[in-house]
Amino acid sequence: MSSQEAVKVVVGLGDRAYDILIGSGLVARAGAEIAARLPGIRAAIITDENVAAAHLAALSESLEKAGIASTAITLPAGEKTKSFAALQQVVDGVLAARLERGDAVIALGGGVIGDLAGFAAGIVRRGMNFIQMPTSLLAQVDSSVGGKTGINSAHGKNLVGVFHQPRLVLADTDVLDTLPRREFRAGYAEVAKYGLIDRPDFFAWLERNWQEIFAGGPARAEAIAQSCRAKADVVARDEFETGDRALLNLGHTFGHALEAATGYDGTRLVHGEGVAIGMALAHRFSARMNLASPDDAARVEAHLRAVGLPWRMPDIPGQLPDAERLLAYIAQDKKVSRGKLTFILTRGIGQSFIAKDVPASEVLAFLRENHPE
């Protein structure tokens, strides 16, 4: 793909519709793309130490060339940065730079930076312009699209935040070259998720083409664009997650519980890995509940194993809390409505649905059967 050909996906949200551009060379073109949409603005770039080392200079230069003055706020990398303390640091930094409502906060990083910077942009002066420049595969296919922002609390992940849509998403596929392989693989779990939710043909295509996606050929940009389209569709249907949007949580109820159970220790389990195991468990649990064929669960497990993702609880290094404790983590998760457990279950590949009133006793029995000990 030449540096001039970006794929464009539009997120259809009426007067707040925005473009996602996906392609090569977009960091270098960021200044021009932003200036064309938001003339005369100034900006604050929010990033983390890893991403800053690899890409911050190029972005600052691109902005400067387009006449956009910017300051950068660089935070430690990792999930712990989605905290009240970091939020206050970003908010104070943006205010110290004297940015106004019409200026922009730019998130240059993975989902952690996107969620944090988006939240800050949503609350400084009750809402500033926000631009996503996702640098992890997970952020390019998932977290940068849809306007969900937030931080974690001692009571659980992502429990505090706002809906604040970006004005533009620039997903430069080249920056993924500096992303650690393990993180790329974790992001791939979210790509597979879109197939498993409601696109069986996409899942079958992934089964055939995953090696090319990992290698970085044209299939990579195609997979990212398809994922963005899938997410944009759901978001346009249900911006504020009062219905269908919950489907995007496929694999996430189990996944979040496992992330919590491992103390959000990224050396043991990163988000996308938790989602991979969670999706496999959701399919296996659906089979156990006689909702889907065990063959479909086996097919999901086989694909995750093939790409090198963890797919079952014993794949997590170190000890896990027992099944009762895992259930308690699930019940603490925010997708609990009035004490009943809500899960995304499936009738087969690409046939996921929202199941309310899932009996906790069944989940507990299932966790016991699948627990490493």
Ligand X SMILES: NC(=O)c1ccc[n+]([C@@H]2O[C@H](COP(=O)([O-])OP(=O)(O)OC[C@H]3O[C@@H](n4cnc5c(N)ncnc54)[C@H](O)[C@@H]3O)[C@@H](O)[C@H]2O)c1
Nearest residue to 278 (alpha-carbon basis) of 213, 333, 337 = 333
220 is catalytic: no
From Zn ion, a second copy, ligand X, none, interface partner of 77 (C-beta below 5 to 8 A by class): ligand X
From Zn ion, a second copy, ligand X, none, interface partner of 79 (C-beta below 5 to 8 A by class): ligand X
Catalytic residue among 29, 199, 245, 284: 245
Catalytic residue among 29, 82, 271, 283: 271
Greatest CA separation for the chain: 61
Is 211 near a second copy (CB under 8 A)?
Answer: no
| 84 or 237: CB nearest a second copy | 84
42 is catalytic: no
67-126 binders of ligand X (CB under 6 A): 77-79, 82, 109-113, 115
36, 53, 95, 328: which one contacts a second copy (CB under 8 A)? 95
91 annotated as ligand-binding: no
**Alpha-carbon gap, residue 331 to 320, rounded angstroms:** 17
Nearest residue to 146 (alpha-carbon basis) of 326, 282, 20 = 20
Catalytic residue among 82, 148, 220, 283: 148
**Alpha-carbon gap, residue 334 to 200, rounded angstroms:** 28
DSSP letters for 66-102: TT--EEEEEE-SSGGGSSHHHHHHHHHHHHHTT--TT
Contacts (Cβ under 8 Å, ≥6 apart) of 190: 137, 138, 141, 142, 227, 272, 275
Is 259 near ligand X (CB under 6 A)?
Answer: no
259 annotated as ligand-binding: no
Is 284 near ligand X (CB under 6 A)?
Answer: no
Residue with tokens 């279950």: 345
State how far Cα 358 lies from the chain centre. Answer: 25
Helix (H, G, I), strand (E, B) or coil at 108: strand
The residues facing 173 across adjacent strands are none
65 is catalytic: no
Catalytic residue among 33, 79, 183, 190: 190
Is 35 near a second copy (CB under 8 A)?
Answer: no
Residues that bind ligand X (CB under 6 A): 48, 50-51, 54, 77-79, 82, 109-113, 115, 135-136, 138-139, 142-143, 146, 148, 157-158, 175, 178-179, 183, 186, 271-272
The residues annotated as belonging to the active site are 126, 148, 190, 231, 241, 245, 249, 252, 256, 271
- Give the residue numbers of the binding site for NAD(+): 111-115, 135-136, 148, 157
